[in-house]
């Protein structure tokens, strides 16, 4: 009999296909597990598959007395109550770096799309504005990337990959993170100093209590009227109402966002700005990234059921 895995988040069927070949999946469809399965059914569940950002706290763990492993699909595990899991000696696995290239690519997609005004350009052309010689929203040339000062906040796998990509666009790249890394970019000791200096702020920091709403009204003011930011990390890193205010009163020039404070909700106020580019958390959503993340999930689950340590274990 195949080992049972509780599928805690809502996943598309296609994302579960490879797991279903190897494990018996108990799918909640994103509903609370105890609404979908009986206490008896949950009693012997030893492993759980989740999206790292989805809240997973004591109450859920209490309903799963045999749980030994929480396996996150993706890099993040910020929704998991780490203390509660540690008390119960539950191992937490993730898919570190498996989607880093895809996420870094999306950061560049948002940045370039924003700076080169891809959305208004495409709409102007498709709407017949170009052929009809109608007043163009593109007339005034935008600032491009050449020689721009780019600040990367966070220098994990994703931050490194973003820095490597944006450096190829003839930019000046600096970064801030908790500690200095062995990378060919200038280290800036404080986030405020980095934000003050840069024209483009790329946010790739891990979400957590220490980074919550760290990009606040004061930081946005330091980014300045010609500054743009891109966030592919987590919505919690930005004070979203402050960002909306900063876009409204032109404290900053624009934003590219793949992540939001409360997903899947992106405030209507954001959707109304022409100088933003918005995507529904698709950073890691490419074929290659999914295969790589699935490889990590399968390796974690297989190791766990074989009584071995998780190969991609989240270390606290």
Among all residues, which ones are annotated catalytic?
A: 234, 263, 281
The CB-of-109 to a second copy minimum distance in angstroms stands at 4
Tell me the DSSP string of 263-304: TTB--HHHHT-TTEEE-SS-TT-SHHHHHHHHHHHHHHHHHH
Is the Cβ–Cβ distance between 157 and 100 less than 8 Å?
yes
Strand order in the sheet with 228-231: 186-187, 172-176, 149-153, 200-203, 228-231, 254-257, 276-278
**How far, in Å, CA of 40 to CA of 279, rounded?**
40
If binding is defined by CB under 8 A, does position 124 make contact with a second copy?
yes
Tell me the number of residues near a second copy by CB under 8 A: 56
| Footprint (CB under 8 A) of a second copy, residues 158-187 | 164-165, 167-170
**How far, in Å, CA of 37 to CA of 42, rounded?**
7
Closest CB to a second copy among residues 209, 264:
264
If binding is defined by CB under 8 A, does position 141 make contact with a second copy?
yes
What size, in residues, is the chain?
A: 316
- Encoded one letter per residue, x for contact with a second copy by CB under 8 A and - for no contact, window 89-118 reads ------------xx--xx-xxx-xx--xxx
- Encoded one letter per residue, x for contact with a second copy by CB under 8 A and - for no contact, window 268-297 reads ---x-----xxxx-x--xxxxxx-------
If binding is defined by CB under 8 A, does position 142 make contact with a second copy?
yes
**CB-based contacts of 105, cutoff 8 Å, min separation 6:** 165, 286
Which parts of this chain interact with a second copy (CB under 8 A)?
Answer: 12, 14, 101-102, 105-106, 108-110, 112-113, 116-119, 121-122, 124-126, 129-131, 133, 136, 138-147, 164-165, 167-170, 264-266, 271, 277-280, 282, 285-290
């Amino acid at each position: 009999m195949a080992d049972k895995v509780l599928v805690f988040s809502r996943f598309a069927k296609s994302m579960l296909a490879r797991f279903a070949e190897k494990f018996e999946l108990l799918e909640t469809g994103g509903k609370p597990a105890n609404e979908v399965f009986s206490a008896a059914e949950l009693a012997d569940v030893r492993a759980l598959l989740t999206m790292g950002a989805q809240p997973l706290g004591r109450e859920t763990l209490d309903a799963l007395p045999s749980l030994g492993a929480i396996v996150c699909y993706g890099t993040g595990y910020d929704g998991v109550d780490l203390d509660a899991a540690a008390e119960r000696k539950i191992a937490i696995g993730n898919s570190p770096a498996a989607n880093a290239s895809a996420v870094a690519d999306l950061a560049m997609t948002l940045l370039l799309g924003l700076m080169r005004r891809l959305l208004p350009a495409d709409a102007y052309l498709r709407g017949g504005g170009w052929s009809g010689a109608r007043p163009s929203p593109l007339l005034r040339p935008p600032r491009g990337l050449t020689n721009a000062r780019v600040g990367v906040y966070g220098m994990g796998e994703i931050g490194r990959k973003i820095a490597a990509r944006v450096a190829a666009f003839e930019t000046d790249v600096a970064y801030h993170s908790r500690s200095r890394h062995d990378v060919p970019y200038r280290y800036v000791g404080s986030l405020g100093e980095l934000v003050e200096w840069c024209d483009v702020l790329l946010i790739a920091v891990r979400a957590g209590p220490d980074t919550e709403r760290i990009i606040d009204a004061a930081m946005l003011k330091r980014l300045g009227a010609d500054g743009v930011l891109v966030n592919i990390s987590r919505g919690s890193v930005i004070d979203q109402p402050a960002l909306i205010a900063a876009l409204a009163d032109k404290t900053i020039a624009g934003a590219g966002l793949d992540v939001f404070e409360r997903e899947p909700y992106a405030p209507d106020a954001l959707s109304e700005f022409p100088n933003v580019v918005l995507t529904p958390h698709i950073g890691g959503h490419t074929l290659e990234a999914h295969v790589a993340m699935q490889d990590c999930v399968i390796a974690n689950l297989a190791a766990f059921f074989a009584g071995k340590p998780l190969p991609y274990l989240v270390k606290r």
